[in-house]
Chains A and B, each alone.
Chain A
Amino acid sequence: MSAPAHVPTASGEQPASPAPAARPGRHRFLPYLLLLPGAAWLFLFFVVPLVQLAAASLYDPAGSLSTGYALTWSFDNYPAALQAYWPQFGRSFWYAGIALVLALLMGYPLAYAIAQKAGRWKHLLLVCVIAPMFTSFLLRTLAWKTILSDNGWLVGLLRDVHLLGPDGRLLATPVAVVLGLTYNFLPFLVLPLYASLERLDRRLLEASSDLYASPLKTFRRVTLPLSMPGLTAGTLLFFIPATGDYLNAELLGTPNEYMIGNVIDSAFLVRLDYPQGAALSFLLMSAILAVVFGYLRNAGTRDVL
């Protein structure tokens, strides 16, 4: 619809022109042309499957993969699924929530230190945050299994200092699962947070302390509000995959720690109960979206992108 140049607002001289320089008619169809392949891909392989999954969640639960399914609008699938698996549901949000708090406690100082304190080591430290992701997710989680194992050094140490009883263990407990969740998704929290904190003008902090704010007050009144966009994005990027995860529970926990992801996984791949799996998937997704949008509204930043 217009020439490619985007006009930035210069020093107030440029009258507020919402759109780039107008060349009407010149590129009217270009943006649509550019968007078409990607949007079509997303539509075909993301939207359509979701709609189909929605339909599948309303299939007659009596059908099976071999006998075929009938769309009977059985909304009963939802309450039935919820009734059968509400502990796993609750556990998903509970574990992800605790992991989020732990990740914030670790991630915020890390992001802050890299952005504001690391000086010339900034880039190296940033690489160090991303680096663990270069090793396979599964391998890292399996490594935690080794670290937390009953005859590993960590359990031995904790038993020696009596933080764990003589028969106490870490592996196959909720602690291990939460630890795994925290670990696996921590970089997703740190990176956006870092981006936000890096843009933070150090002079603002100096101005704040010049205006009689204690370090704590400066943090609460200046640093934290200004890092909000990164905090919001990071929290979402952490919370969404953590809630839907099932590998940590599978590898580090026992069926007692199973989250909703494990149930959905087995519904699709083991029990082959598609209607129930679909209903659970949708419940999970709508629960997450509800949390996300509620959170976004409160955080006051809608433009996470």
Chain B
Amino acid sequence: MRISRWLAEHWVLGVALLVLGYLFLPIAVVAALSFNRPSSRLSYDFNEFTLDNWRNPCATSEMCEAVLRSVQIGFLATVVATVLGTVMAFALARHRFRGRSGLNVLIFLPMATPELVMGTSLLALFVSGGVPLGFWTIVIAHVMFCVSFVVVTVKARLTGMDGRLEEAAMDLYAGEWQTFRRITLPLVLPGIVAAALLAFSLSFDDFIVTNFNSGTTVTFPMYVWGAAQRGIPPQVNVIGTAMFGVALLLVLATSLAHRARAGGQRRPAP
């Protein structure tokens, strides 16, 4: 009786943990392979434990250049997309104007369009415009598909914000700019940071759109793709694991900081 009730209450958690296990399975494999000394170039089986890959992650300079390039592209695309998207989100959330719904469609469409179509159409544009494919065409493409995600993320935060806070600031002698700087911006900042992180991860990990518009420029995903055909150096797994670890630490740290602050703020139970 007790057990069946407990099961009824908790089976969902059990399923959830299984699904999380499914989500983490490949990560575990990547992490394991980062410590592997492969028996042959094309073998993906775990052969022998080694720290060599971690000690010497830049076994191929090609790969490290690709990582660096991906970081550069990700950084540029993130900055541009975050600025453009945030400004648009403000306009959409705070102003009434003609053509709003049309604009909403314009922002929604890139998210509803398969990456493949975006990639091919941009390729057609660049080719017909005689634009040489490379670093900058990749940046342009990445900004394009990141902007919509930034707009949506920041707008959600903005519309969730209590408009009376801004009125209160204005009532307390803060002009438009001061109100924005002291009240709106600090309160929306978490949304903007989240949007920027999302944009960076989308850019850093993008393969499909990049593949069409990169010319001979090689980003990290492109390198992995190319290497997959002729055997992946185990150091790729080091990069993958390290990226995962860094991002996870970053998120956990901010979430812990957030929780510490929220915990300090929690008022004693009534």
Residue of A with least CB distance to B23: A132
**Interface size, chain A (Cβ < 8 Å):** 99
Which residues of chain B have a CB within 8 Å of any CB of chain A?
8, 10, 12-13, 15-16, 19-20, 22-27, 29-30, 33, 44-45, 84-85, 87-88, 90-97, 103-104, 106-118, 120-125, 127-128, 140-141, 143-144, 147-148, 151-152, 155, 159, 162-164, 166-167, 170, 176, 179-180, 184, 201, 205, 207-208, 211-212, 220-221, 224-225, 228, 232, 236-237, 240-241, 243-244, 246-248, 251-252, 255, 259
User: Are A132 and B251 neighbours in the complex by a CB distance under 8 Å?
Assistant: no
User: Are A114 and B16 neighbours in the complex by a CB distance under 8 Å?
Assistant: yes
User: Are A6 and B12 neighbours in the complex by a CB distance under 8 Å?
Assistant: no
Q: Does A101 contact B (CB under 8 A)?
A: no
Residue of B with least CB distance to A186: B23
User: Are B125 and A139 neighbours in the complex by a CB distance under 8 Å?
Assistant: no
Residue of B with least CB distance to A304: B108
Known: A52-B121, A139-B237, A244-B117. 7 other contacts (CB 8 A): A5-B167, A39-B103, A109-B15, A135-B240, A136-B240, A146-B45, A285-B117
Q: Does A205 contact B (CB under 8 A)?
A: no
User: Are B112 and A292 neighbours in the complex by a CB distance under 8 Å?
Assistant: yes
Chain B CB within 10 Å, residue with most, of A107, A128, A247: A128
User: Are B91 and A34 neighbours in the complex by a CB distance under 8 Å?
Assistant: yes
Q: Given A107-B19, A131-B247, A136-B224, A46–B110 Cβ distance below 8 Å?
A: yes
User: Are A53 and B107 neighbours in the complex by a CB distance under 8 Å?
Assistant: no
User: Are B88 and A39 neighbours in the complex by a CB distance under 8 Å?
Assistant: yes
Q: Hey, which chain B residues are within 8 Å of A118, CB to CB?
A: 13, 16
A:219-250 near B, CB below 8 Å: 236-237, 240-241, 243-247
User: Are A136 and B243 neighbours in the complex by a CB distance under 8 Å?
Assistant: yes
**Interface stretch of the complex, out of A25-33, A75-83, A161-169:** A25-33
Q: Given A4-B179, A5-B166, A140-B30, A305–B108 Cβ distance below 8 Å?
A: yes
Q: Given A137-B221, A215-B8, A117–B13 Cβ distance below 8 Å?
A: yes
User: Are B30 and A110 neighbours in the complex by a CB distance under 8 Å?
Assistant: no
The 0/1 profile, CB within 8 Å of B marked 1, for residues 193-212 of chain A is 00000000000000000000
User: Are B117 and A268 neighbours in the complex by a CB distance under 8 Å?
Assistant: no
User: Are A285 and B114 neighbours in the complex by a CB distance under 8 Å?
Assistant: yes
